């Protein structure tokens, strides 16, 4: 197979080590802008993957991420932030990192080459038809990631591949391939730069859109977040006030009655019902605030 584009050396950065700091920084900044721009042509493919993922996850499936090295760490970062931000259940999140948890903090030799361990991990976690597995690899050739995607697809899971090099095994393995053509890096092969940035943006877009469509926001408000500290409890109150237009005292009382559940308090106030009825309406609509309000005949902004 031809050398992946992410491994090529760019003439643009020849003599990089001889440049002064302002020139180095400016050139690296330009590369980061180019990395984000490279996602534009991939948006149609990302749209198809996102819409398919929403359908599976709405049926109760799990969201799984797989990767090695930089790509794996980028994937894990996106995944773990879904729990506090959108209250995504931890038992519906599967993280397959080549080398295990230890590889999040340091390199684990040869871990990315262990296709057998990837296949075993997919089987161990019983990844199946309702699940969505996202594999991320800049080169698109990482054995661990490719094997995990192949195994998950064989077991009926919806598979998405994010790669920065075209015509690679990872893109061929997935049902929904997403190529982000970032090209050669400033430092040849250092995919923590452009490729890593593009991957993070792609996963941010994907997971955020998925959570929005699953009803874990109301309007553009973070109504599913876990208020685990003073800052977030203050944000909860501000969100409720913004969404309802009511004063602090009314919103505080509603949150207390709802045992701190922002969605329940929000539906209660906007629909003019009690917390029990609000909770029942949310359960009936899968936690969608807007859909609950529509079902109750209340106006939704």
148 and 234 within one domain: no
C-alpha to C-alpha distance for 289 and 224, rounded to whole angstroms:
10
263 and 201 within one domain: no
C-alpha to C-alpha distance for 67 and 57, rounded to whole angstroms:
21
**Res. 134: pLDDT tops 80:** yes
Record the pTM: 0.92
Q: 101: pLDDT confidence band, cut at 50, 70 and 90?
A: confident
| 222 found inside a domain | no
C-alpha to C-alpha distance for 114 and 122, rounded to whole angstroms:
13
Print burial letters for 104-113: b (CB count within 10 Å at least 16), e (below 16).
Answer: eeeebeebbe
| 220 found inside a domain | no
C-alpha to C-alpha distance for 205 and 193, rounded to whole angstroms:
19
User: Residue 182 is part of a domain; what is its CATH number?
Assistant: 3.40.50.10490
**Res. 229: pLDDT tops 70:** yes
265 and 188 within one domain: no
Residues of the domain holding 242: 230-295
Q: How many domains does the chain have?
A: 2
Selected catalytic residue, list 14, 30, 112, 185: 112
| 85 found inside a domain | yes
| 218 found inside a domain | no
Tell me the pLDDT tens digit for each residue of 175-198.
999 999 999 999 999 999 999 999
Specify whether 51 is catalytic: no
Q: Which residue has the higher pLDDT, 232 or 156?
A: 156
Selected catalytic residue, list 14, 30, 51, 81: 81
C-alpha to C-alpha distance for 71 and 67, rounded to whole angstroms:
6
Specify whether 81 is catalytic: yes
Q: What is the pLDDT of residue 169?
A: 97
C-alpha to C-alpha distance for 102 and 109, rounded to whole angstroms:
11
257 and 182 within one domain: no
């Amino acid at each position: 197979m031809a050398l992946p584009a992410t491994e090529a050396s760019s003439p643009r950065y020849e003599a990089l080590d001889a440049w002064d700091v302002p020139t180095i920084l400016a050139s690296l900044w330009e590369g980061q802008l180019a990395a984000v721009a490279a996602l534009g042509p991939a948006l149609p493919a990302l749209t198809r993957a996102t819409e398919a993922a929403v359908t599976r996850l709405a049926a109760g499936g799990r969201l799984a991420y797989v990767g090695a090295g930089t790509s794996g760490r980028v994937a894990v970062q996106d995944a773990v932030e879904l729990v506090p931000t959108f209250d995504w259940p931890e038992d519906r999140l599967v993280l397959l990192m080549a080398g295990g948890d230890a590889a999040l903090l340091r390199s684990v030799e040869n871990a990315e080459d262990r296709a057998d361990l990837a296949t075993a991990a997919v089987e161990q976690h019983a990844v199946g038809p309702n699940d969505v597995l996202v594999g991320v690899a800049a080169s698109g050739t990482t054995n661990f990631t490719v094997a995990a995607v192949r195994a998950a697809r064989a077991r009926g899971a919806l598979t998405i591949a994010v790669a920065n090099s075209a015509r690679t095994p990872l893109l061929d393995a997935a049902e929904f391939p997403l190529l982000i053509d970032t090209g050669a890096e400033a430092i040849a092969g250092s995919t923590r730069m452009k490729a890593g940035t593009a991957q993070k943006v792609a996963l941010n877009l994907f997971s955020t859109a998925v959570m929005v469509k699953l009803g874990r926001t109301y309007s553009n408000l973070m109504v599913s977040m876990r208020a685990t500290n003073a800052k977030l409890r203050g944000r909860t109150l501000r969100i409720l006030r913004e969404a309802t237009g009511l004063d602090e005292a009314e919103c505080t009382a509603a949150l207390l009655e709802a045992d701190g559940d922002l969605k329940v308090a929000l539906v209660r106030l906007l629909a003019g019902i009690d917390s029990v009825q609000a909770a029942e309406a949310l359960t009936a609509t899968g936690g969608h605030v807007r859909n609950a309000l529509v079902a109750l005949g209340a106006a939704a902004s």
